[in-house]
A and B are shown apart, each in its own frame.
Chain A
Amino acid sequence: MATTETRPATASPVRVVIPPGGWRADWRGIKVVWQRELIRFWRDRLRIVTSLLQPLIFLFVLGGGLANIASGGTEGVDLRTFMFPGVLAMAVLFTAMFSAASVVWDREYGFLREMLVAPVRRGSIVLGKCFGGATVAAFQGVIVMALAPLVHVPYSVSMILEVLALQLLLAFMITAFGVMAAVQISQMQAFMALMQMVVMPLLFLSGALFPLTGLPHWLAVLNRLDPLTYAVNPIREAVFANLDLTPAATAALLPGITWFGWNVPIAVQVLVVALCALAALEIAIVKFKRA
Chain B
Amino acid sequence: MTDLAVQVRGLVKQFGEVEAVRGIDLDVAAGETFGFLGPNGAGKSTTISMLCTLLAPDGGSALVAGHDVVRERDAVRRNIGLVFQDPTLDGYLSAEQNLRFHAELYGVPKALVPDRMRLVLEMVGLWERRSSLVQTYSGGMKRRLEIARGLLHAPRVLFLDEPTVGLDPQTRSSIWGYIEQLKAAEDITIFLTTHYMDEAEHCDRIAIIDQGRVIALDTPEALKASVGKDRVQLQVDDTDAAIDALRERFGLEATIAEGHVTVAVDGGEAFVPRVFAELGVPIRGVSVARPSLDDVFMSYTGTTIRDAETAGGPDPLTRMMAGRH
Binding site for B on A (CB under 8 A): 1-2, 4-7, 9, 11-21, 24-25, 28-29, 31-32, 36, 39-40, 43-44, 106-120, 186-187
A117 in contact with B52 (CB, 8 Å): yes
List residues of chain B with CB within 8 A of the CB of A44: 92
From B27, B74, B92, give the contact of A43 (CB < 8 A). Answer: B92
Count of inter-chain pairs, beta carbons less than 8 A? 132
Min CB gap B50→A, angstroms:
12
A7 in contact with B92 (CB, 8 Å): no
Q: A14-B154, A119-B107 are in contact. List 11 more A-B contacts (CB 8 A).
A: A2-B219, A4-B29, A6-B3, A6-B30, A6-B31, A13-B186, A17-B108, A17-B154, A18-B78, A21-B75, A117-B53
Q: For window 77-130 of chain B, which residues contact chain A by CB distance below 8 Å?
A: 77-79, 82, 84, 86-93, 97, 100-102, 104-109, 112, 119
A4 in contact with B53 (CB, 8 Å): no
B74 in contact with A21 (CB, 8 Å): yes
In angstroms, Cα B30 to Cα A108, docked, is 35
- Given contacts A5-B31, A6-B3, is CB(A107)–CB(B324) below 8 Å? yes
Identify the closest chain B residue to A28 (Cβ).
B104
Q: B244: CB under 8 A from chain A?
A: no
What 8 pairs between A and B have smallest CB-CB spacing? A19-B107, A32-B104, A12-B187, A7-B31, A119-B77, A118-B105, A110-B88, A186-B323
- Given contacts A14-B186, A17-B154, A21-B78, is CB(A32)–CB(B100) below 8 Å? yes
List residues of chain B with CB within 8 A of the CB of A13: 185-186
In angstroms, Cα B324 to Cα A186, docked, is 6
Q: For window 203-239 of chain B, which residues contact chain A by CB distance below 8 Å?
A: 205, 217-219
In angstroms, Cα B107 to Cα A118, docked, is 9
B106 in contact with A116 (CB, 8 Å): no
B97 in contact with A39 (CB, 8 Å): yes
In angstroms, Cα B92 to Cα A289, docked, is 26
B154 in contact with A110 (CB, 8 Å): no
- Given contacts A6-B31, A14-B154, A39-B93, is CB(A113)–CB(B84) below 8 Å? yes
Min CB gap A102→B, angstroms:
10
List residues of chain B with CB within 8 A of the CB of A15: 154
In angstroms, Cα B322 to Cα A106, docked, is 11
A108 in contact with B324 (CB, 8 Å): yes
Query: What secondary structure prevails in chain B residues at the interface with A?
Result: loop
- Given contacts A1-B27, A6-B30, A14-B154, is CB(A28)–CB(B86) below 8 Å? no
B78 in contact with A4 (CB, 8 Å): no
Min CB gap B257→A, angstroms:
34
In angstroms, Cα B218 to Cα A40, docked, is 47
Min CB gap A249→B, angstroms:
47
List residues of chain A with CB within 8 A of the CB of B31: 5-7
From A19, A31, A106, give the contact of B106 (CB < 8 A). Answer: A19
Min CB gap B292→A, angstroms:
21
Q: List 12 A-B contacts (CB under 8 A).
A: A13-B185, A14-B185, A19-B107, A36-B90, A36-B97, A109-B88, A110-B322, A113-B88, A118-B102, A119-B74, A119-B78, A186-B323
In angstroms, Cα B53 to Cα A116, docked, is 10
B217 in contact with A1 (CB, 8 Å): yes
Identify the closest chain A residue to B321 (Cβ).
A113
A24 in contact with B107 (CB, 8 Å): yes
Q: B197: CB under 8 A from chain A?
A: no
Q: B54: CB under 8 A from chain A?
A: yes
List residues of chain B with CB within 8 A of the CB of A25: 107
In angstroms, Cα B30 to Cα A32, docked, is 32
In angstroms, Cα B88 to Cα A108, docked, is 10
In angstroms, Cα B133 to Cα A44, docked, is 13
In angstroms, Cα B74 to Cα A11, docked, is 28
